[in-house]
């Protein structure tokens, strides 16, 4: 039984949600140690934009990917992991001042986009858009979840479709010298009093 338990810890458990030829998207139910190196290596691409804190460790993988309430997806190309996106309950980020000032903090109705990355060799072919689309779709289906939030460089969220507002702006995000905006996507605008892009800190193009 002990040997079986170690095997289960090493392997990941997932469900294929979408596929197109050699590309597929999986909903992660548990991240095993065998996939830790690939996820960590991919996360290193985030450091340029988001700072060193964006690089995954075994501890952060366990804390966010395997945490109850999280919504993690991976993208595979010919069985290799090439990207991932993960939403975590914003309450899990209580150590961050900006999280505690979110008006929905404590309501357990918001997923924060902790990380969204696609390997550079696979950008521009629609894989990232497909991964994001699946993430948002599943966020809408999750009971009690009404919002998806995240930090992106100023101007990026103006390109998003749907009901998106910009809540605040952060200068010199994580010491990168770049300005970031904190956006909030309303997943059920017909049930919400919020208006899109209010306040409008970025211009929609």
Indicate if the pLDDT at residue 203 is higher than 90.
no
Q: Of 48-52, 85-89, 130-134, 169-173, where does mean pLDDT reach its minimum?
A: 48-52
Indicate if the pLDDT at residue 7 is higher than 70.
no
Question: pTM, whole model, 2 decimals?
Answer: 0.85
Q: Given pLDDT bands bounded at 50, 70 and 90, which one contains residue 101?
A: very high
Indicate if the pLDDT at residue 109 is higher than 50.
yes
Mean pLDDT of 91-100: 94
Contact 99, 112 (CB under 8 A): yes
Contact 173, 137 (CB under 8 A): no
Check residue 142 and report its DSSP letter: S
Mean pLDDT of 15-36: 94
Give the whole-number percent of the chain exceeding pLDDT 70: 89
The tokens for 189 are 């605008």
Beta-carbon neighbour count of residue 88 at 10 Å? Answer: 21
Beta-carbon neighbour count of residue 181 at 10 Å? Answer: 21
Task: Assign domain 2-145 one CATH number from 3.40.50.300, 3.40.630.30, 1.10.1300.10, 3.90.600.10.
Answer: 3.40.630.30
Q: Given pLDDT bands bounded at 50, 70 and 90, which one contains residue 104?
A: very high
Q: Rounded distance, CA 60 to CA 40, Å? A: 10
On average, the pLDDT of the chain sits at: 87
Contact 18, 9 (CB under 8 A): no
Q: Which residues of 135-145 are buried (b: 16+ CB within 10 A; e: fewer)?
A: bbebbeeeeeb
The tokens for 51 are 């700072």
End-to-end CA distance of the chain: 58
Which residues neighbour 140 within 8 Å (Cβ) at sequence distance 6 or greater? Answer: 187, 188
Indicate if the pLDDT at residue 201 is higher than 70.
no
Indicate if the pLDDT at residue 1 is higher than 80.
no
């Amino acid at each position: 039984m002990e040997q079986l338990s170690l095997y289960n810890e090493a392997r990941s458990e997932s469900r294929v949600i979408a596929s197109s030829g050699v590309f597929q998207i999986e909903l992660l139910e548990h991240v095993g140690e065998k996939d830790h190196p690939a996820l960590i290596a991919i996360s290193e691409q985030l450091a340029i934009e988001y700072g060193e804190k964006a690089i995954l460790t075994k501890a952060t993988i366990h804390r966010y990917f395997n945490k109850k309430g999280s919504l993690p997806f991976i993208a595979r190309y010919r069985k290799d992991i090439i990207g991932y996106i993960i939403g975590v309950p914003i309450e899990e980020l209580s150590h961050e001042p900006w999280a505690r000032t979110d008006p929905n903090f404590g309501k357990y109705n918001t997923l924060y986009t902790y990380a969204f990355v696609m390997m550079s060799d696979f950008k521009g072919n629609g894989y990232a858009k497909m991964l994001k689309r699946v993430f948002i779709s599943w966020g809408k289906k999750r009971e009690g979840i009404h919002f998806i939030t995240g930090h992106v460089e100023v101007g990026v969220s103006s390109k998003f479709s749907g009901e998106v507002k910009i809540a605040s702006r952060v200068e010199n995000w994580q010491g990168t010298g770049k300005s970031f905006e904190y956006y909030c996507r309303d997943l059920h605008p017909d049930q919400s009093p919020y208006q899109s892009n209010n306040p409008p800190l970025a211009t929609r193009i």
